[in-house]
Amino acid sequence: MSQRTRMSGNEAVAHAIRQVNPDVMPAFPITPSTEIPQFVASMIANGEIDTEFIPVESEHSSMSAAMGASAAGARAITATSSCGLALMWEVLYVAASSRLPIVMAVVNRGLTGPLNINAEHSDSMGARDSGWIQIYAENNQEAYDNFLQAHRIAEHKDVHLPVMICQDGFITSHAVENITLWDDEPIRKFIGEYEPEHYLLKEDESMAVGPYAVSNYCMEAKKAQAEAMKNARQVILDVAKEFEAVTGQHYGFFEEYKLEDAEYAVVAIGSVCGTVKDAIDVLREKGVKAGLLKIRVFRPFPAEEIAGALKHCRAIAIMDRAESYSGCGGPLGAEVGAVLYRGKAAAETVNIMYGLSGRDVRVQDMEGVFDKLQKLAAGEVSFPEYFYLGLRE
C-alpha cells in the first residue's frame, strides 16, 4: 500500500534514495541541498541502506568520486546546489562525455553575486550545455517521482548519460507538503539492479575512461554523445509510462494545464507553476482563456512538442528564473523563442525574468502577466522583448 504523508522536498528525495539504495554517494554540504546527504547518512547509520557514503573536501571532489565509482561499475549519486554545482563545472563535462549514468539531486539556488542562498535557476541553467539530462520538479511529489525514474533513464543502454533532478531551493526543498510515498517492493522492482555491460573492474575486459582523443576521433565521440541525448527522449517517455503503470502518476516532457483552448499562455519551469495554475483558475472563472505549459524535461529539449502545444496561442509569456546576460533575455526564453520562430508561430511573445534570488511571485503578479498578454494580443500596448517582474524601481 502507498503511504500518504507530509515531508519536505529534500526529505522526499532522500526517501527516493533509500528506495534506490545506491552503491556509492560522495557528497559535500551546501545550502539548500545539505539535508539530502544528511538524511542519507542517517539512513546508513540506522542500517536502512548499505550505501557507501564518502565525505569529501569539495563538490569538485564529490563529482570526481562519483565518476570513479560509476566507471568502476557502481550505481553512484550525489547532491549539490549553486556554487557547489559551479565548482563541479569541469567534471560535469567529463562525466557526461565519459557516458557515466550518475544521478545528481540539484536544489536550485542562485549563483553569486551578490551572495544569496535562495531559489534561482542560474546554477543548473548554467550547466545546460554540459551534456547532462535535466528534469525539473514543480513540487515535492515530482521531486520524489523524478528521482525514482532517473536511474532507469541514465542507465538505459541507448542513453548512458548522467541526470540532474532539479527542484527549487527552500520553496520545495524545505517546505513541507502532502506527498504519496510508493511501496518499497514495487518501486525497487521498477528501478531494478544496475548491471553495466562495461566497467573498469570487469574481469577479462580492458577499457579506458576519459582518454585523450586526437582530432581524428573526438568529433565522432561528441556526435555519439549527442545521439544518446536524442535517444533519451523516447527512453524518458517509456520510463514514465512504466512508472505510471506502477503508481498511477502521469509524466511527460511537460504538463499542459488548461492549454488546449488557451489564447494566452505562460511557459515556465519549477515551483512557480503552482502559482500560475492558481492565477489561471481565477482568470478562467472570468472567461479569460489562460493556460500553462510547464516544462519538466529541459534536456533533451522537446522542441517540436513545445511548438505543437503552443501553436494555437495568440500571446505567450516565457518565464525565466535565470538571467543569461545576453541582453535579450533568459535561457528558456531563447530556446522557446527559437522553437516558435522555426515553427512560424503567429503568437506575440515576451520573455519575463521573475523570482531571481528568491523574489516572491504572487497569484496577483501572474494575473498581471496574463493581463499584459491580452493587451499585447489585442495590439493595445507593446512591451520590451524581455523585462523583470516585480522589480523595485
Whether 67 is covered by a domain: the verdict is yes
Among 112-116, 154-158, 227-231, the least confident range: 112-116
Name the domain boundary from 247, 265, 282. Answer: 247
- What integer pLDDT is reported at residue 391 of this predicted model? 93
Residue 309 has pLDDT above 80, yes or no: yes
- What integer pLDDT is reported at residue 368 of this predicted model? 97
Residues 145, 278 share a domain: no
Name the domain boundary from 247, 264, 294. Answer: 247
Whether 298 is covered by a domain: the verdict is yes
pLDDT tens sequence across 57-91: 999 999 999 999 999 999 999 999 999 999 999 99
Residues 339, 213 share a domain: no
Phi, psi of 286 (to 5 degrees): -95, 0
Question: What distance, in Å, lies between the first and last C-alpha atoms of the chain?
Answer: 53
Name the domain boundary from 222, 247, 272. Answer: 247
H or E segment and range at residue 177: strand 176-181
Structural domain total, the chain: 2
- In sequence order, the β-bridge partners of residue 165 are 105, 135
Whether 393 is covered by a domain: the verdict is no
Residues 24 and 73: beta-carbon distance below 8 Å? no
- Averaged pLDDT for residues 102-125: 96
Domain that holds residue 75: 3-247
Other beta carbons within 10 Å of 81 = 29
Residues 258, 204 share a domain: no
Phi, psi of 347 (to 5 degrees): -70, 145
Residue 43 has pLDDT above 80, yes or no: yes
Residues 207, 131 share a domain: yes
Question: pTM of the predicted model, to two decimals?
Answer: 0.97
pLDDT tens sequence across 166-216: 999 999 999 999 999 999 999 999 999 999 999 999 999 888 888 898 999
Rounded to whole angstroms, how far apart are CA atoms 277 and 290?
9
pLDDT tens sequence across 262-287: 999 999 999 999 999 999 999 999 99
Residues 184, 116 share a domain: yes
> Can you give the CATH number for the domain in which 321 is found?
3.40.50.920
